[in-house]
A and B are shown apart, each in its own frame.
Chain A
Amino acid sequence: MPAFCITFQIHQPCQLKHYSFFDIGESSVYENESRTAESLKKSVEDLTLPSLQILLKHVTDYRGEFRIAFCASGTFLDSCEKLQPRVMDVLKRLADTGCVEFLTTPYYLSLSSEVSLQEFKEQTVLHSERIKSLFGQSPKVFANTGLIYNDALAGEIETLGYLAILAGGAGLLADKQSPNYVYQPGSCTAMKLLINQVVNPTDPLQIQSRGKVINLWLNLSSPVGTPGRESDMLSFLEQLPGSILWENKGKSLTPSQAAGAFKSSTVLSSPSTRSIIPPHDMTPWLGNEMQKDALQALYLVENEVKRLHDPTVLRTWRILQDADHFLGMGTRPHAHPAINVYDSPYDAYINFMNILTDLSERVEARA
């Protein structure tokens, strides 16, 4: 029976304020803090906190038999530290069990790996340091935003000293290849590649189970607009160790344990970019003209923003990098309704561009 390696992703974006064209030059407040706090509170209370409590109980009860990993964005950790300290307490207690691994992800869950290697590395380092100071462990495994992955990126991650990187299987694996082996990225010499499957809590048996290690990817943040999903997830989590450890006689590993326990079965090469969100490439974030334009415009001001050495401006610019803003601009057939807090993708784009126009003008004025 293969081993199980389960990673939980947690994130809540900062919500942007309704920002009209007429606000450009008038207001430099971009974030709707009360809405950010509200959606964080709802997500934490409905899903994240009860999930973490269930997981903490399992990890404690099973004394080393049940191990899990977390990939929590810096945005989420910052918000929780300020607004939901109970979450931080449980996460710290989970870290203290010694059975929980924290992964590195771009701090602001950005798409920086696609646009600016410099910014991508800065956010990766920033996140890794934050995890070290919060939980006392240096991350050894990297998971990009949306598990965005390609050979070049894997090469960069290896040079940063990571043992393994996570990716989704679609587009990477050949027809008969199983996701449940440890692979070697095309561009790497030592770093391992773990192929993850998304679990549907209402239909967990859909996962492929042949192989050495089953890597599962679960989201512990409640997306807007899908009521009822939370209770499915909670009952799935309640039964999780029972189903994987007893019924399947499997064992449970963290990603770095899995990377250490198995040799690479073969090299998997992926020059083109893949992701975990269907259609498993960049189209959910960059499938249309608005998304591409907004992303390009955002990184055009990178150098000017950084030259100011103003932490407030830098944070503001980084909040805008959140991949969820780009998901919200998706048009059919790649619209992502669960994420959209706007009436339409056009509203999402217009709001974002108005804010970015104001920010750019302010930054240029100070340059």
Chain B
Amino acid sequence: MKILMFGWEFPPDISGGLGTACYEITRALSRHEHHITFVVPRSEAPRGQTHVQLVDASQIPVPYPPTVQEFFEALDLKSVDSILRPYLNDAEYQEVLNQVRCGPSEHPSAPSLVSTTGHYGATLMAEVARYSEIGETLAFDHEFDIIHAHDWMTFLAAIRAKRATGKPMVVHVHSVESDRSGGHGNSGIFEIEKMGMEVADHVIAVSHYTRNLILEQYGISPDKVSVVHNAVSRRQVEKAYHAPRLHSRKTVLFLGRVTSQKGPDYFIEAAARVLEKAPDVVFVMAGSGDMLPRMIERVGELRLGRHFHFTGFLSGHDVERMYAMSDLYVMPSVSEPFGLSPLEAMVYDVPVILSKQAGVNEILPDAMTVDFWDVDDIANKILAILKYPALSREMLRTSRKALQSIRWEVAAERIQQIYNKLLA
């Protein structure tokens, strides 16, 4: 089967779970002898913290060793010149646009599918619309049986490809606008999401939690919305067990975008409570985002600076090292359609405390969960895990057991079934 897939980012330069999910899904699908053309936006903007750089298939570096060579042969990675990047809002788009316009342009430009270099849209929406042109271009130049688009920025491109060819289209929803914005989302984005889901022949949601939002907020017919949970890769599982702790003090980790969706403020308030009882604990906030400055200020106000580390955005080996150094991972998300990072933490034998709002709980029935707003309960649980070793031993036992059945192969299998149904 030939699949035309629209994504936002691809390893090794990824800013969130979406890139990992796309990589793993395509990898698992390629085992079933599917040929995938994977399309991602790229730009010549200077490489920064949230920058997405498209890497040529032959240059994929270290974390993905030669054994995956065959996979990359089956995968046709296409770059589209665009400064779109994941989780962007309009203000952030303007910032990126300015950077690109003012920044040095000595980067050699890769062959692009759409020759619009230097004509980025004036607004986020204009850029998304411009980007959608590639849908049509690709439709004429490439042969494919099915179209698969990940999250809203690619939906218009997928719709144009569908209109041009009449091929079935699947949209894969990793999050919806209300998740990312905390309820008061951008109505333009909402409309694109809604249109994408309506035009799509089938919608994949990463959790039942997300599926419910799709049914309730977007009014999509339940018949065409399926849940395919994310997973964690076996390579990581084998490699990571028993990674040595590098820190002698107990370390509690927050890792994710520092935005209101992820609840970093609750993490800090809980940390303050923990430090009242256990002043030797270290807290790490890894990630960047619009709330980061406010979070650093808050730590200062609370006079907790000497117990707190802000690492900024981490990628690749630094993420692995961070997990390996941690004794506990806390995810106090206000809204979390899925939440891949707890699974990654579990791979590194790090116990996790999860927000009850996280979709990943659907596949982790033994997870320790908290209400994100219940700072006292979060603190109570952090202290218990650090003070009663039997608790983390038991949590690790149950998480290792859970990880055995959480496989990308299962997700790919489900996706393949959906393809088959659409093509039948």
Contact = CB atoms under 8 A, between A and B. Distances in A.
Contact of A293 (B273, B277, B388): B388
Given A22-B376, A350-B380, A290 B390 contact: yes
B369 A289 contact: no
Question: How large, as a class, is the contact surface on chain A?
Answer: 10 to 19
B394 A20 contact: no
Contact of B379 (A22, A288, A294): A22
A264 B390 CA distance: 44
Interface string B377-397: 101110110011111011101
Interface stretch (A159-167, A182-190, A274-282, A341-349): A341-349
B365 interface: yes
A281 to B, nearest CB: 18
A331 interface: yes
B365 A332 contact: yes
Interface string A285-313: 00011101110000000000000000000
A344 B388 contact: no
A297 to B, nearest CB: 9
A21 B368 contact: no
Contact of A346 (B277, B387, B395): B395
A21 B277 contact: yes
A332 B366 contact: yes
A344 B369 contact: yes
B165 interface: no
**A contact face: mostly helix, strand, loop, or mixed:** helix
B391 A290 contact: yes
A353 B384 contact: yes
Interface string B137-179: 0000000000000000000000000000000000000000000
A289 B273 contact: no
A354 B384 contact: yes
B394 A290 contact: yes
Interface centre among B366, B379, B390 (most CB of A within 10 A): B390
Interface string B52-63: 000000000000
Nearest to B381: A350
A288 B391 CA distance: 10
Contacts of A20: 376-377, 380
Contacts of A293: 388-390
Interface string B253-285: 000000000000000000001001100000000
A43 to B, nearest CB: 28
Given A21-B277, A350-B388, A344 B368 contact: yes
Contacts of B379: 21-22
Interface in B387-424: 387-391, 393-395, 397-398
Interface in B178-192: none
A288 B384 CA distance: 17
Contacts of A357: 387
A21 B390 CA distance: 16
Interface in A70-120: none
Contacts of B277: 21-22
A350 B393 CA distance: 13
Contacts of B273: 22
Nearest to B276: A22
A349 B391 contact: yes
B394 to A, nearest CB: 4
A288 B381 CA distance: 19
Contacts of B393: 289
Contacts of A354: 380, 384
20 contacts: A20-B380, A21-B384, A22-B273, A22-B277, A22-B376, A22-B379, A289-B394, A290-B391, A293-B390, A332-B365, A344-B366, A344-B368, A346-B395, A349-B394, A350-B380, A350-B384, A353-B384, A353-B387, A354-B384, A357-B387
Interface of B: 273, 276-277, 365-366, 368-369, 376-377, 379-381, 383-384, 387-391, 393-395, 397-398
Nearest 4 A-B pairs (CB), nearest first? A293-B390, A350-B384, A21-B383, A289-B394
Interface of A: 20-22, 288-290, 292-294, 331-332, 343-344, 346, 349-350, 353-354, 357
Given A20-B380, A21-B384, A288-B397, 17 more contacts: A21-B380, A21-B383, A22-B273, A22-B379, A289-B393, A289-B397, A290-B391, A331-B398, A332-B366, A332-B398, A344-B368, A346-B384, A349-B390, A349-B391, A349-B394, A353-B387, A353-B388
